[in-house]
Each structure stands twice: as structure tokens, then as C-alpha cells.
Amino acid sequence: MEFIKKAGKKLDELSDRHILLLQIGMIATAALLGLILVIVSSGRLSAEKVQEEKRISLTVTTTFTGEDGNSQNFQEALSAFQEDHDYVIKDLSSISDETFKTRVLQDFATGSEPDVLFFFTGADANSFIRAGKVVSLEEIRSVYPEFASNMQEERIPHALTDDKAYAVPLIGYWEALYVNTRILDIAGVDMPGKDYTMEEFAEDCRKIKAAGFLPIAGALGDIPHYWWEYAVFNRTGAADHLTVPASASDRIGQNWVKGLRDLKDLYEGELFAGNTLNTTDDESFDNFTSGRAAFLLDGSWKLGSIELALSQEYGDKAEDKLKDFSVTYVPGTGKRSADEMIGGVSMGYYISRKAWDDPEKREAAVAFVSYMTSDPIVRKFARYNMTALKNTRGEEMQTLNGLEQAAADMVAGAKSFTPAVQDLFQGQCREPIFDGMPRILTGKVTPYEAVKKSLELYNLKN
């Protein structure tokens, strides 16, 4: 205390000029100390940044974001992968729509493509495959022989450009017949199975109509694609289904014509709703989920929509309502059995040429795709969807509800999967058949005329 008193007394004896100089000195010292701390801190951060930059970085683009049902699964898998590997993953995922497709194709065209891409396996991928911007499985396996070895080779999609495999599949799709089992019970109709035929289907539809219900929920003037696909499939069979006819007069072209005639017979038999040519797909779907219609032909993606619609309509009682719904095979003919399904893998993981040619990124890209297409991850994503896995069943199936389990059982029991020919038959050439469906079904245009015009337009661009 005596020291402080003496110091205070000494300070009192100093002139204002000396005090000012002392204050300036103290401020300068404090500033110098602060600068030293910043330099030390910056040095530490720079070292950390340098260490971060030394880690191998991968840019990855997928569609698992937003309201996608697997977005949470993807984020969990991504976190788990990064915990096990010393890689930095830059996730550039965005919603799957036409904007997404355009952005991806532009990125490849400008050299700013991602290292790993989850994308479509059909015609949408043609441009960057032709340009050599992605690596084939054949080339990858020349260095990593076990790459995608957990997949069934026949289910790995091949490019339309050169018939080589470039994408490792994750999950696929299927198109099938959703059923309101409550209506079937009331009408005295059995649940359709593997041996179900179109003749039996038409007879059952008449029983359902007699019981006071709509047999088929469908908007043939809005979304005729699913019924057209199976009508043609029933005539072509699996062997010829993916061949686009050269003309309406050749063997396969005639099968397309016959398929349209079969669909016209269903329409003229009044097995669809009376307004099927001018109603919307949403209104048709509501007829099914609300219990007014017995059958709905649609894709695997519709299963989640059924669950959501029931949840919004019935709240806590939705689970009980879901018990009234199932899914099964589309009725067949002599050319095609019911358990031969429309389905396949429409998306998969590509490794870009840019990443493959980078010695450091190559191994990281292979490790990432291998992890994301491993059995446990695929099963978690797939649930009731088809996959290309050799080992098709797993513990994850225990969490499925009744409708999902019916879908999983149907997929497991399918004889085969054939991709949709409409995915090859793209563009303006569809219009005479799809947009023109009301004119075909009402007899204003014959099936032959519609197929002929469509194929003429197709052949102009192919």
C-alpha cells in the first residue's frame, strides 16, 4: 500500500506534458500487445486452415435435399462417411427438377462439374457421356476390381450412347396397381395376384361398378402414360418392349396399335370415371384415397403420397385407414405375366473424369460412391423400392407399415423388371398419343393414325 501511495504522489508531481506522454506510451504498449496477440492468433488459424486445405476435398451433387424423402438419410450417411474418412465433402445437392438437370448439364459443358454426381441414367446423361466427362465402371474396375460388386450386373443401367455402365445404382422405381381392399371386400372381389389377367381384371371392374364404386381412378386426358405403358407392354412382352418401332406397320408398331385398342376397350366399357378425359390427376388420386375408386395405376413414388394424403385427411386415424390400401401386379396377358413389371433404375452415382484423373481425388471418389451404394445404405434408402443389390433382403424391412410391406413383397416376388419405353420415346413425338389420348379413345383418331404420326415425328430426330 505504501508503494501505491508513493507512486500516486510521484504522478501528482508530474507536469501535464509528462502525463500525456505517459498515457501515449501506455496506449502504444497496449496496442503492441494486441497486435502480438492477433499475429499469434492468426498464425494459429492459418495453420489450421492450411491443415484443412491439405485434406482431400470432394464436390458432390445429389437430389437428396428439401422435401425428398431420403434427404435425412443422405445427411446421416454423409456425416457417417466423413467421420470414418479424412475427406472434406462439399454438398451441392438441390431439388430434382428441370432446373437441376439444366444446371448439371451446363456445369459439365463449362468444366465446372462435380467430382461425384447422383443423376439420371437415361437420355438426360447422353451429352456428358458422349463428351467423356464421366468414367465407366469397366475403367474403374480395372483399378478397383471390387467396385460395385454387391450389385446384380443385369440391373446396373447401361448408357444409351455406347451400352456401357457408368452409374452405380442406388434405388429404382416400379409401376404397379394400387388397391383399395375395402372396396374389393364389399364387391366380393379377390386381391389380384401374380396370375391375374386383363380378362379377370375387366370382370372384377364390372363387379366393383355394380357395387356402386368407380373401378379405376385414372385421368386419361391428363396423365395417360401409365396405362399406355402397360397396354403396350401386354402386347410386346419384355423381349420387345424397349424397341421403338420403325413404323406403325411393322410387327412392334402393330403391337403399339393393339395396345391402344385394348385401352380404348377399357374406356368404352366405362371402367374409368365418366370424366376421365377432362379430370386432373389430382382429382383422380383423391377418388382413390377417399375410397370412391378401387384401383390406381401409378409409380412407386405415389406410395408416399397415399400415406401423406391419409395423414392430412384423417390425422391420428390415418394408420387405421392405411390398412384399407395395398399394391399388387398389373394384370397381364398371354405375352406378359402380371409379375413382369415396369421398373428399373433411373438414377445412380457417377464419378467424373476430372476427379478420376486427379490422383488424390480418385480414391476419395471411389470410397464415397462405394459407401453410398453399400448394402446397409441402399436398404435404408430403398425401403419398399427395388434395388440392384445381390442380397435383396435385410433387417431394415422390419420398420415398414402394411402398405410398404406389400410393396416390398411385390418387388421381391417380381419375375422381372423392364424399364419404361416412354423414357426412350421423348419429346414432341409423344403428343399424338399422349396429348391426343382423348381423341383416340373417343374415335376421332384411330390408334393406327396416332402411332403413325408419333413415329414419324420420332424418326425425324433419331
Residues facing residue 174 across a β-bridge: 343
Mean pLDDT, rounded, for 61-79: 89
Question: Which residues contact residue 341 at a Cβ distance below 8 angstroms, ignoring those fewer than 6 apart?
Answer: 174, 175, 176, 329, 330, 414, 415, 416, 417, 418
196 has a pLDDT exceeding 60: yes
C-alpha 269, offset from chain centre: 35
The pLDDT, as a whole number, for residue 194 is 95
| Percent of the chain with pLDDT strictly greater than 70 | 87
| Percent of the chain with pLDDT strictly greater than 90 | 74
Taking all residues of the chain, what is their mean pLDDT, rounded to a whole number?
89
Through-space distance between the first and last CA atoms of the chain, rounded to whole angstroms = 99
348, exposed or middle or buried, with CB in 10 Å at 0-12, 13-18, 19+? Answer: buried
The pLDDT, as a whole number, for residue 229 is 98
188 has a pLDDT exceeding 80: yes
Band (pLDDT 50/70/90 cuts) for residue 95 is confident
Band (pLDDT 50/70/90 cuts) for residue 384 is confident
Question: Rounded distance, CA 306 to CA 403, Å?
Answer: 10
The pLDDT, as a whole number, for residue 383 is 84
Contact criterion met (CB below 8 Å) for 412 and 334: no
Question: Which residues contact residue 28 at a Cβ distance below 8 angstroms, ignoring those fewer than 6 apart?
Answer: none
The pLDDT, as a whole number, for residue 295 is 98
Band (pLDDT 50/70/90 cuts) for residue 11 is very low
376 has a pLDDT exceeding 50: yes
Band (pLDDT 50/70/90 cuts) for residue 271 is very high
Domain range annotation of the chain = 57-172+345-392, 173-341+402-426
C-alpha cell belonging to residue 133: 466427362
Backbone angles phi, psi at 129, to 5 degrees: -75, -45
Mean pLDDT, rounded, for 301-324: 92
Query: What type of residue is 276?
Result: T
In three-state secondary structure terms, 2 is helix
Contact criterion met (CB below 8 Å) for 217 and 288: yes
* pLDDT per residue as tens digits for the range 235-257: 999 999 999 999 999 999 999 99
Band (pLDDT 50/70/90 cuts) for residue 87 is very high
Question: Which residues contact residue 401 at a Cβ distance below 8 angstroms, ignoring those fewer than 6 apart?
Answer: 307, 319, 322
Question: Rounded distance, CA 454 to CA 440, Å?
Answer: 13
Band (pLDDT 50/70/90 cuts) for residue 162 is very high
* pLDDT per residue as tens digits for the range 109-149: 999 999 999 999 988 899 999 999 999 999 999 999 999 99
Mean pLDDT, rounded, for 344-352: 93
Higher pLDDT, 151 or 66: 151
Q: What is the pTM of this model?
A: 0.79
Band (pLDDT 50/70/90 cuts) for residue 427 is confident
Mean pLDDT, rounded, for 359-387: 93
Domains 57-172+345-392 and 173-341+402-426 share a fold: yes
Contact criterion met (CB below 8 Å) for 416 and 340: yes
Higher pLDDT, 15 or 292: 292
DSSP symbol at 298: E
21 has a pLDDT exceeding 60: no
2 has a pLDDT exceeding 80: no
396 has a pLDDT exceeding 70: no
Higher pLDDT, 382 or 46: 382
Among 360, 404, 402, 347, smallest CA distance to 74 is for 347
Among 215, 254, 238, smallest CA distance to 332 is for 238
Mean pLDDT, rounded, for 347-374: 97
Band (pLDDT 50/70/90 cuts) for residue 394 is low
Band (pLDDT 50/70/90 cuts) for residue 426 is confident
Band (pLDDT 50/70/90 cuts) for residue 15 is low
Question: Rounded distance, CA 314 to CA 291, Å?
Answer: 13
The pLDDT, as a whole number, for residue 345 is 86
Higher pLDDT, 139 or 345: 139
Mean pLDDT, rounded, for 70-88: 94
Question: Distances in Å between the alpha carbon of 222 and those of 179, 279, 280, 334, 423?
Answer: 21, 7, 6, 29, 18
Contact criterion met (CB below 8 Å) for 321 and 182: no
* pLDDT per residue as tens digits for the range 32-47: 555 545 444 555 545 4
For domain 173-341+402-426, the question of CATH label 3.40.190.10 is answered with yes
The pLDDT, as a whole number, for residue 385 is 87
Long-range CB contacts (within 8 A, 24+) of 380-383: 380/73, 380/77, 381/70, 381/73, 381/74, 381/170, 381/171, 382/170, 382/171, 383/408
Residues facing residue 90 across a β-bridge: 59
Question: Rounded distance, CA 142 to CA 23, Å?
Answer: 74
Residue 413 sits at the vertex; the CA angle it makes with 411 and 418, to the nearest 5 degrees, is 60
27 has a pLDDT exceeding 90: no
User: How many Cβ atoms from other residues are within 10 Å of residue 280's Cβ?
Assistant: 13
For domain 57-172+345-392, the question of CATH label 2.60.40.10 is answered with no
The pLDDT, as a whole number, for residue 402 is 93
Mean pLDDT, rounded, for 352-373: 97
Mean pLDDT, rounded, for 199-204: 97
Mean pLDDT, rounded, for 422-449: 94
In three-state secondary structure terms, 404 is helix
